[in-house]
A and B are shown apart, each in its own frame.
Chain A
Amino acid sequence: MSTRWYPIYQRGNPQLRVFLPNFWMKLVRPTEEQPANVVTFAVSTEMTKYDVKNYLEKIYKLPVVDVRTRIALGETKRDQTYGYVTKKDDVKYAYVTMPKTEAFTFPDIFVNKAEKQEKEEKSLDESKAGFRRFLDRNKKRPGTPGWYSI
Chain B
Amino acid sequence: MSSTLIKCLNVAKTVGRVTFKNLLTASQNPLPSLRTTAVGGLLKCGVHTTAPVRNERLMEFFDDPKHWSENEVKVGRAWKPDELRIKSNKELHQLWYILLKERNMLLTMEHECNDKMEIFPNPERIDKVKISMENLETVVRERNKAYHLLETGETGERPQRQVNNAFGLRCTYKSCEHVLPPFMNTKWIKSRNLGYGGRAVHKFLLKYREKLYNAKRKAKNRSRNEVMMILRRNPNFDLELLKRKYADVDIDKLRKTDKTRGHFVPKVDA
User: Cβ of A58 and Cβ of B29 under 8 Å apart?
Assistant: yes
When the two chains form the complex, which single residue of B17, B62, B96, B113 contacts A16, counting CB atoms closer than 8 Å?
Answer: B17
Q: Are B104 and A21 in contact (CB under 8 A)?
A: no
Q: A19-B23, A20-B96, A24-B103 are in contact. Are A8 and B69 (CB under 8 A)?
A: no
Interface contact A5-B57, CB-CB below 8 Å: no
Q: Are A26 and B174 in contact (CB under 8 A)?
A: no
Q: Are A36 and B68 in contact (CB under 8 A)?
A: no
B202 an interface residue at 8 Å Cβ cutoff?
A: no
Known contacts A21-B100, A58-B27, A109-B62; is-contact A102 B55 (Cβ 8 Å): yes
In the assembled complex, the Cα of A60 lies from the Cα of B98 at a distance in Å of 11
Smallest Cβ-Cβ distance to A21: which chain B residue:
B27
Contacts of A109 in B (CB 8 A): 62, 68-69, 109, 112-113, 116
B14 within 8 A of A: yes
Does B60 sit within 8 A of A, measured CB to CB?
yes
Contact residues in A for B115 (Cβ distance below 8 Å): 29
CB of A59 within 8 A of CB of B55, answer: no
Q: Which residue of A lies closest to B27 (CB)?
A: A58
A84 to nearest B CB, angstroms?
Answer: 24
Which has the most chain B C-beta neighbours within 10 Å: A24, A36, A39? Answer: A24
Hey, which chain B residues are within 8 Å of A5, CB to CB?
15-16, 158, 174, 176
Interface string of A6-37 (1 = CB under 8 A from B): 11101000101111110011111100000010
Q: Is the CB of B178 within 8 A of A113?
A: no
B20 beta carbon closer than 8 Å to chain A: yes
* A86 adjacent to chain B (CB < 8 Å): no
Question: Mask for A49-65, Cβ within 8 A of B = 1, else 0?
Answer: 00000100011111000
Closest chain B CB from A117 CB (angstroms): 9
Note all chain A residues with C-beta closer than 8 A to B107: 24, 26
Number of A interface residues in the complex (CB < 8 A): 41
Name the residue among A5, A20, A59, A60 with the largest chain B CB count within 10 angstroms: A20
A42, B97: Cα distance in complex, Å: 19
* A110 at the B interface (CB under 8 A): yes
Contact flags (1/0) for B53-86 with A, using CB distance below 8 Å?
A: 1110111111000001110000000000000000
B24, closest chain A residue (CB): A17
User: Contacts of A39 on B, CB cut-off 8 Å?
Assistant: 58
Task: Flag A88-114 by CB within 8 Å of B: 1 or 0 each.
Answer: 000000000010001111010111110
How far apart sit A62 and B118, CA to CA, in the bound complex (Å)? 30
B93 interface residue per 8 A CB criterion? yes
Nearest neighbor of A36 in chain B, beta-carbon distance: B53
Instruction: Let me know if B116 and A110 touch, CB within 8 A.
Output: yes
| Chain B positions within 8 Å of A14 at CB level | 10, 14
Query: B53–A7 contact, CB under 8 A?
Result: no
Query: Would you call A18 and B17 a contact (CB within 8 A)?
Result: yes
Tell me if A116 counts as interface (CB < 8 A to partner B): yes
Q: Say yes or no for A4: interface residue by CB 8 A criterion.
A: yes
Q: How far apart are A20's CB and chain B's nearest CB, in angstroms?
A: 5
B181 at the interface (CB under 8 A from A): no
Q: B54 near A18 (CB under 8 angstroms)?
A: no
Query: Measured between C-beta atoms, what is the minimum distance from B109 to chain A in Å?
Result: 8
CB proximity of B64 to chain A, nearest CB, Å: 12
Residues of A close to B62: CB separation below 8 A: 27, 107, 109
Contacts of B104 in A (CB 8 A): 24-27
A103 touches B55 (CB 8 A): yes
Residues of B with Cβ closer than 8 Å to A?
10, 13-20, 23, 25-27, 29, 52-55, 57-62, 68-70, 93, 96-97, 100-101, 103-104, 107-109, 111-113, 115-116, 118, 136-137, 140, 158, 174, 176-179
- The contact sample of 12 A-B pairs, CB cut-off 8 A, is A5-B16, A10-B179, A19-B27, A19-B93, A25-B61, A27-B108, A39-B58, A42-B111, A58-B27, A62-B55, A62-B58, A107-B59
